Each structure stands twice: as structure tokens, then as C-alpha cells.
Amino acid sequence: MREQLELTAILLCIALASGAMFLFPVEKKIAEHGAFLQLWWSANDSLPINKIDSAHIYSMPIDEATKRSLWFRRKRNWPYKSSSELLSDPYLKSDSLFFALGAIDFSFNQKPKQEGPRPSARLQEYYHRPKVKNYGPLDLNTCDSASLDALPGVGPGMARILLDYRTSHGYIADIDHLKQTTYFGKIWREAWDELLVLNEVPPPKLSLSRSTFQELLDFPELNYAQVKRICFYRESFAAPLWSEIAEWEEFSAIDTTFLQLYISRN
């Protein structure tokens, strides 16, 4: 009998130890996720849930399904009115912890109510005709994600690709390079040649003579070997000429003419 009790106790200890092995990693993962969400909220005073654009939504630490649901409501001007409505939304259920941790701003822009006498039947017929949407040219260096998403064929995903390119380069200086290095080139439409334009390209922010090693290395079109060669030459002699750089082995496969749109010599 005693041996049987001892065996039972040993088996129970083994079961508890096995359960702990599976339980604690899960708890640790949950705790780390909660700490990450709290860190995100510490950098954001509040979330204007009814006013955020697609770029903001797709940068939030939430599930992809939640992002699509939020953007679906934003495009249709369908606001959340309270925390209870937000947290009870079944499409946001997986991210209820995220929304519960921070302050949510539920204000939204209401459509102005029509005042004055009701228009006649003839005018009502005119107002209810489907309107043809006119798309004006968008400057790629100043447009936001909402205006890009409004263009036929773009959508929030493509708007994010374009804005990520603009952020990484500082600005867009050449549309052809944008087409060649992003998915835009595969889906580019002829109509976009007139709708997506560059009205004004800012002067280069980087310099061969003044920019630091790290600033040049952060530019996405330069690699470590190229930046090292530029800085070594600069420290030994002076800032190199672009005609000299074009002959260097490290730049044999790169268009130095394009680089001059972002990097000046002086």
C-alpha cells in the first residue's frame, strides 16, 4: 500500500512538472505581448478611432483582420460611438486587450444637416443622379494615404508601399525608379501617368562632403562597401566627384545619375 502511494505521489509530481513546462512559456509570451502593447500606448496619448487613415491603421500592433475591419468602417464613415460598442465588435475580439489598455477618442466628423426648404422633385432627381468622380493629379511627395487609396486600383496596401518608399528615400525624385523597385511597376496604369506626378522635387538632403558614415549608410540605395569607399576617399583627399565615383568598382552596377538626385557633392 505504501509503495502504491509513493508511486502515485511521484506520478503526480511528474504531471505537475510537465504542466508547468507548457504553462509558463505561454504566460511569459502573454506578459511580453501585454508589455509591448503598453509600450505602444505610452507613445500615443489617445487613438482617434474614427479619424485615423489607412497608414496609421496598418502600422498598429493588431491582427490583419482587425486592420481590415477598421479600414472598412473608416472608408464608409461608420464610426464607433462608445467603448462598449468597440469592445463588443466580433471582428475586433482578438485585439480587445489592445483597445482596453489605452484611451480611445470616439469623436467623428458628422455630415452637416440640410437646412432650408426641401428641393422640388425635379431638383431631387438631379441631386440623386450618380456623380462622376473626378480625380485630380496627386503630388507623390505631398499626398497622404487617404488620397492615394481613393484612386482606382491603388488601395491601402499599395498606398503603404508608396509611402514606405517615400519615407526610406526622404522624398520621391524619380517615378521610373519607383516603378522599377516596387510592385507599382507591375500594375502601373497609363492613367496614373497624369494622376501621380512630381510637381516639385526638393534639393538633396545628403552630401558627399558633409553627411556622416551612418547617414549615407541609412540611404537604401547605398551599401556598406560603397559608403566605406566614399568616406575613405573623403578623409584621404576630399569629397569625390561623381565622375570619379562612376568609375569605382563598387558602383559598377549602380546608376550614379540617380544617386545625384538625393546626394549632392558639397
- Reading the block at residue 249, the C-alpha cell is 568598382
Residues with Cβ within 8 Å of 61's Cβ and at least 6 positions away in sequence, in order, are 36, 37, 40, 98
Length of the chain, in residues: 266
Dihedral (CA of 26, 28, 33, 38) sign:
positive
Torsional class of 116: left (φ above 0), alpha (ψ -120 to 50), beta (otherwise): left
Domain residue extents for the chain: 47-105, 138-197, 206-264
Torsional class of 63: left (φ above 0), alpha (ψ -120 to 50), beta (otherwise): beta
Q: What is the pLDDT along the chain (266 residues), one digit of tens a residue?
A: 666 666 566 556 566 555 555 555 667 777 777 777 888 888 888 898 888 888 888 888 898 888 888 888 888 888 888 888 888 888 888 888 888 888 898 888 765 555 556 656 555 554 555 544 556 799 999 999 889 888 888 888 889 999 999 999 999 999 999 999 998 888 888 889 889 999 989 999 999 999 999 999 999 999 999 999 999 999 999 999 999 999 999 999 999 999 999 999 99
- Reading the block at residue 110, the C-alpha cell is 458628422
- Residue 180: name the closest of 254, 264, 251 by CA: 254
Torsional class of 153: left (φ above 0), alpha (ψ -120 to 50), beta (otherwise): left
What is this structure's pTM?
0.51
* Virtual torsion, Cα 48, 50, 51, 57, nearest 10 deg: 80
CA angle 129, 132, 138 (to 5 degrees): 150
